[in-house]
Structure 1
Amino acid sequence: MDTSQRGTPDFILLFLTFLLVGFGIVMVFSSSSPIASFYLQDALYYTKKQVLFAIVGLVVMFFVMNMRIEKLKKWIVPVNFMIIIMLFMVLFTEPINGAKSWIPLGSFGTIQPSEFAKIGIILYIAALICKKGDQFRNFKTGLLPVLTIIAFISLLILIQPDIGTAAILIFGTMLVVFVGGANLKHLLGIFAIFSGLMTLFLLILTNIEITSGPINERLSRFTSYQDPWADPLGGGYHIIQSLYAFGHGGMTGAGFGQSIQKLFYLPFAYNDFIFSIIGEELGFIGSTLFIITYLLLLWRGLVISIKSPEMFGTLVGTGIVGILAIQALINIGGVTNAIPITGVPLPFISQGGSSLITSLISVGILLSISRENNRLAKLEKK
């Protein structure tokens, strides 16, 4: 591939990505070493896996970065077709922690198709909006087909069940729809209907009789955020242990590696609740610096997206930034008890191959857009 005519990538975004991935590996080591040492006799077990995932993700990121954004279009349909097949396949797998979200790959671990679905649907919706052009403002022939696709993919993820990932996908794609120029009246009507359905859904959840079983246990954790101490050993256990971690961290933190909650108190300390360990070991100041770094990455991604001369680049970039921001917000909001826990990983930080690789692929797409932006800017100066 001739890349001599390509512009330079956004080095600020590249640096921030390396910074977050490196920090994530360090925090995975800190948060996972006790449990890995006790159960697996290898304190570096999860850390080594995360390093491997990071290497694979970075290789794919650099590959995507060197591909013109327009050339991605020819891969959109086959990639989404494969993702849909995998989303059906997970329904026939054995549940893990109450959800059928992973396909086992033997000694290689598992793959989570819903993580890849977030990128695939953003690319597909963006390409569809660009293809429809002005017709997209028509509800029947423009917006309705797009909403049907979003609803179909979201439903496949919801029935796993994976409420968190489905919510990320819905909000991320609706951001693309909004930026794509959908009729505001149509969007307001959809928002009203969606809000009504979500309110009804939450009312049902908060009044449901929780019985035994992994799925009902997940529902219990979801509904107990209003008063986790009402069921401290059941649905409220996770969030109570998470809040203890933040309390122990205080302003300056207990110090790196000095977390108490990771010592078999806080479940999934190296995955869904890794931000709790960040708060405990690095304190409010360290957590704030981390969030600022995250916001800088999102800001660079948004700037790159806005500067794209192609509508497709703007829509894809905006959707990617939106998904990363929404996922981080849901994760951090959940572990701090600002919103119900839904069990989604923190992008770039949480241990897990599918999440890390898809996050790096997303950055690769943004870097590809930035290269095209810089190429055109260079041509304008000549």
Structure 2
Amino acid sequence: MRGIVKSYGAKIWAKQLWKTSVVFFLLACGSDDGGEPPPSSGCETGSNPNITFTTSFTDLDAIAHIEPLGELQAFHNFSAHTYVFIKPGVTEVPVYAPVDMDLVNVTFNGTDYQPMFRASCEVVLRFGHITNPVSTIRDAVVTQGIPLFDAQASTLVSFSAGELIGTTSGTVQAKSFDFGVYHSERQLTFLNNDRFHPVETFRHATCPYDYFTSDLRNQMYDLFGPKPLAQPLSCRGPRGRAGTIAGPWFDTEEVFSTPYHGQTEFSPLLVATTLDGTVKLVRGTESNVHRTLLGAATHADPEDVTTEHCYEVESGGYFYLQLQADGTLRVARETSGSCPSEFPSSGYITYYR
């Protein structure tokens, strides 16, 4: 370690400093004040907006694939971090510091750990589902998160590039863990920024793999998947495309300024194609992810649908989506049966950007 663990008294002081904005990495949320990050010149780590990661964050040979930003998961209206899937035959993988960085926060949900690191005043890294962190991280656990770019957050432990921060077996269901990087001076642009920008992680999410040296970056991009479609040249980011049915939709015209744990307080609809060609439809309050596989009779890339389309989904029934001239989207959902010959005249929900 580059530095020594801060004193216990400093740790207690840090615990008392938490802001009212609670940050939970698993739900991809952040400060909901809607404002810009505070000036970062006073942060202990130092300023470096163009930082480079020099060491892999894990053993890449043990990774099955990586899902980049914007992939579709249950309970999400945008995935502001990436998902790293461990190979089926591998029990657990190491997690390393990809750059010199300082631990500023770590929470524990009863199952696994969510450490947050500052690589510079402008660049923050977060991992989720770390099942066995090193003892210095485990000993620094607090009950709440902090805003991403809190210049006053105290350094708890310092790590050098390549140093082990723990091992993980990932989630029980998917054998995956989370890796996200956020930059205070770079902002994502959504079709309707007001829906997302109140949440720090949505607003400042960047592609973690773009920070690595070119050789490492290429190795990580080669793991994007699941395949077989051609892999993107970026982490994809916001999935909405104007004039099509693709991307996030919301079932209220009103924009709420206080998202709940990074989700809206209503049911969003997300429609997009994954890297293996599957069309996924996710509604924010449901645990189901509805799928239409590549090659299925009703498959169509939502980014190509400019009028209407009906998807028969593996979970049963269909979603019939019809784009309106005013930019809204009508969605008819039936849990059984096949697509009708025309859009129904009633029983649909209207969604908004």
Answer yes or no: same fold by TM over 0.5: no
Please identify which structure carries the higher helix content.
Answer: 1
TM-score by length of 1: 0.22
Q: Which has the higher contact order (CA 8 A, sep 6+)?
A: 1
Please identify which structure carries the higher strand content.
Answer: 2
TM-score by length of 2: 0.23
